[in-house]
Structure 1
Amino acid sequence: MTATLADRYVAATIRTLPPGLQAEVRDELDASIADAVAARVAQGEPAADAERAVLTDLGDPDVLAAGYADRPLHLIGPKYYLMWWRLLKLLLAIVPACAAVGVAIAGMVADDPVGTIIGEVVVVIISTIVHVAFWTTVVFAVLERTGADTGMRWSVDSLPEPQESGASRSDLIGSLVVLGIFAAVLLWDRFIGLVLIGDSGVDVGVGLGAQTAVLSVLDPQLWPWWIGAALVIIGVEAAIAIAVFVRRGWTPVLAVVNTVTAVVFAAAALYLVVAGRLLNPAFVDATLGRDDVPDEVGRILAIILAVVIVGVATWDIIDSWLKVRRARGAGTSRIAG
């Protein structure tokens, strides 16, 4: 006996249901389909066309079965979606960058070719993004299927504080103070010195003995041109901070100027690090030139210093453009209001 379309539809619906639920769903579907077909036939529609129309209206049998079994047909539903999305964005903003920096430092310490280091960094970034996205999604998919309670509840206490646009008086004062300290340290290091050096190396004491000298950390040969250029860059940064305060927020023009300034500073500092001209040779000899300190330590410290320079410049650039976006958003909100 050939099965009808209705029989095939009911069989397709109940095949994925728990055994204890199959008989109940079969009886209910048989009755509802028969009633719907009979109603259409009573209105003059052919039986075959009525059956096909009723089954078409019921839709995919797997979707219907999921409704009977109370089984979700989404990977991550609204209960966990925002939590998943916020955590994923946070992890993707931190983990790949940390992994890339770690691989780059390891490659430079191992003295690998630049091309090899770049290739390894690209591979680890892609691999880290894939793993972070996959395993984070798996965890929340399991939570979705098991209905586990994460214990996290929204409350008014979780409302974020308004993000600063860098235009407040406190931002201006803070920026100028930090820049002033940086300039003072440069000048103090050049004309007085920052480190006390004794017979056994760096002297952390406060007294100056007969065998103690005060050395500059930076190479004295950087004066006047390199140190002067650094002071000019500090002045430009101070002018940017004042302009941000006067204009009540960051603008694309100020962000571009800040980006160029950061790139120039990072490029000059990296050149000095690579050329071995940044640190005072007397300071290096007194601290890293001793017999008990391996030569490799100096190279590792130079690599770490270069990474810090690039990291600081990159963050300064990203932060300025983020504040441009926030300032534009605040301006749009005021106009809409």
Structure 2
Amino acid sequence: MTVTLADRYVAATIRTLPPALQAEVRDELDTSIADAIGARTDAGEALEAAERAVLTELGDPDVLAAGYADRPLHLIGPKYYLTWWRLLKLLWAIVPACAAVGVAIGGMVADDPVGTIIGEVVVVIIGTIVHVAFWTTLVFVILERTGADTGIRWSVDSLPEPHETGARRSDLIWSLIMLGVFAAALLWDRFIGFVLVADGDVDVSEGLGSQTSAIPILDPALWPWWLGATLVVIGVEAAIAVAVFVRGRWTPVLAMANTVAAIVFATGALYLLVTQQLLNPVFVDFIIGWGDVPDEVGRILVIVLGIVIVGIPIWDIIDSWLKVRRSRVGLSSR
């Protein structure tokens, strides 16, 4: 028995269908193909040419089978795509950064060379991005194939809030209050001290000049030059906040000035921390008991403080440039 192209096409179509559908689809295809071929041959077309034309019009048998079986031919369809993409962006913004910080801290605690730490951080970031993308996508592929419901429904409550541009009066007041509190804390720590101690509990004569009932956290030797420079940076930040309010938005020039001020602050503070000039030795001995703590613990404390010193300015820089971008979008949409 000769196997025709139509027979091969029907067999290729039903081979991936559930057994319950195969007989029904076979009969339907045999009939429709035969009718289409017959119409073409009645019009004077050769049988072989008519058969090829009909099968070509039907297209890929696997695509046709997917239509019969209601089986998606995409990795993630419109039902799940936006949920997948929003979740993936959120995970990419959080997981690689956390993994990188963890690896960096571990490397610094282990006293690894800087080059080794950087290499490990880069590898971890790339690996984390790939793994997050793969496993998140795999979950949604399974959801797509099983037809599961994520339970996520759009509503007007899901509309995004307007992005803050940092130019409102409340933003100015908040910035000035925070900068003022920081400046006041520095001066209070230098001239009064934050840590109260009973007279005779600690020898504070070195570096302080006399017995006192309070210990500064920062090294008193930082006054006047280092603390004075910090107060100048605080003044610059206050001036930038006022300028943003007056202009009504963040501009690239203001963001660049903010970036320079943040880098100057972070660089100076980090230098003092690394050279052991930042913290008051009396405070360290009294509160932390530095001499009784293993070197690893002391190193961890320095690393954590260093991350805070670097992390806050980095966030401030990123936030200012994001507000520049939002301000531009707001202007272009008017």
TM-score (norm 1): 0.92
- 1:207 — aligned with what? none
How far apart in 2 are the matches of 1:290 and 1:102? Answer: 24
- 2:299 — aligned with what? 299
Question: Is the counterpart of residue 218 in structure 1 residue 218 in structure 2?
Answer: yes
- 2:62 — aligned with what? 62
Question: Is the counterpart of residue 244 in structure 1 residue 244 in structure 2?
Answer: yes
- 2:109 — aligned with what? 109
Give yes or no for contact 2:219–2:281 (8 Å, CA) kept in 1: yes
What pairs with 1:273-292 in structure 2 (closer than 5 Å)? 273-289=273-289, 292=292
- 2:206 — aligned with what? none
Tell me the secondary structure at the aligned position of residue 197 of structure 2: strand
Deviations 1:244-271 (A, max 9, x none): 1111111122112211221121111111
Residues 314 and 2 of structure 1, relative CA distance in 2, 3 Å threshold: farther
Tell me the secondary structure at the aligned position of residue 131 of structure 1: helix
Q: Which amino acid aligns with 1:294?
A: P
- 1:205 — aligned with what? none
Residues 201 and 27 of structure 1, relative CA distance in 2, 3 Å threshold: farther
Shift of 1:42: 2.6
Tell me the secondary structure at the aligned position of residue 73 of structure 1: coil
- 2:11 — aligned with what? 11
How far apart in 2 are the matches of 1:257 and 1:5? Answer: 74
Q: Which amino acid aligns with 1:121?
A: V
Shift of 1:295: 3.9
Range that drifts further, 65-74 or 310-319? 310-319
Tell me the secondary structure at the aligned position of residue 135 of structure 1: helix
Q: Which amino acid aligns with 1:96?
A: P
Give yes or no for contact 2:284–2:290 (8 Å, CA) kept in 1: no
Q: Which amino acid aligns with 2:46?
A: P
Shift of 1:60: 0.9
Give yes or no for contact 2:16–2:65 (8 Å, CA) kept in 1: yes
- 2:259 — aligned with what? 259
How far apart in 1 are the matches of 2:101 and 2:252? Answer: 29
- 1:53 — aligned with what? 53
Shift of 1:311: 1.2
Give yes or no for contact 1:197–1:286 (8 Å, CA) kept in 2: no
How far apart in 1 are the matches of 2:235 and 2:305? Answer: 23
Tell me the secondary structure at the aligned position of residue 333 of structure 2: helix
Q: Which amino acid aligns with 1:47?
A: L
Give yes or no for contact 1:288–1:295 (8 Å, CA) kept in 2: no
- 2:308 — aligned with what? 308
How far apart in 1 are the matches of 2:141 and 2:98? Answer: 26
Q: Which amino acid aligns with 2:233?
A: I
Shift of 1:290: 5.6
Shift of 1:289: 3.3
Shift of 1:160: 2.1
Residues 65 and 224 of structure 1, relative CA distance in 2, 3 Å threshold: same
Deviations 1:210-229 (A, max 9, x none): x9621111111111111111
How far apart in 1 are the matches of 2:70 and 2:191? Answer: 77
- 2:160 — aligned with what? 160
How far apart in 2 are the matches of 1:235 and 1:291? Answer: 38
Deviations 1:56-95 (A, max 9, x none): 1111110110000011111111111111111111111001
Q: Which amino acid aligns with 2:218?
A: L
How far apart in 2 are the matches of 1:32 and 1:130? Answer: 47
Shift of 1:291: 5.5
Give yes or no for contact 1:17–1:65 (8 Å, CA) kept in 2: yes
- 2:332 — aligned with what? 332
How far apart in 2 are the matches of 1:296 and 1:199? Answer: 31
Deviations 1:261-299 (A, max 9, x none): 211211111111111111111111222336643343222
Tell me the secondary structure at the aligned position of residue 196 of structure 2: strand
How far apart in 2 are the matches of 1:32 and 1:200? Answer: 103
Residues 103 and 36 of structure 1, relative CA distance in 2, 3 Å threshold: same
Question: Is the counterpart of residue 129 in structure 1 residue 119 in structure 2?
Answer: no
Give yes or no for contact 1:201–1:287 (8 Å, CA) kept in 2: no
Residues 197 and 296 of structure 1, relative CA distance in 2, 3 Å threshold: farther
How far apart in 1 are the matches of 2:242 and 2:201? Answer: 43
Shift of 1:13: 0.6
How far apart in 2 are the matches of 1:239 and 1:291? Answer: 43
How far apart in 2 are the matches of 1:220 and 1:175? Answer: 27
How far apart in 2 are the matches of 1:259 and 1:155? Answer: 39
How far apart in 1 are the matches of 2:137 and 2:181? Answer: 46
What is the percentage of aligned positions where both structures have the same residue?
77
How far apart in 1 are the matches of 2:75 and 2:130? Answer: 17
Give yes or no for contact 2:193–2:217 (8 Å, CA) kept in 1: yes
Deviations 1:173-192 (A, max 9, x none): 10111011111111111111
How far apart in 2 are the matches of 1:140 and 1:186? Answer: 52
TM-score (norm 2): 0.93
Q: Which amino acid aligns with 2:293?
A: V
Tell me the secondary structure at the aligned position of residue 255 of structure 2: helix
How far apart in 1 are the matches of 2:253 and 2:16? Answer: 61
Shift of 1:41: 2.4
Range that drifts further, 154-163 or 88-97? 154-163
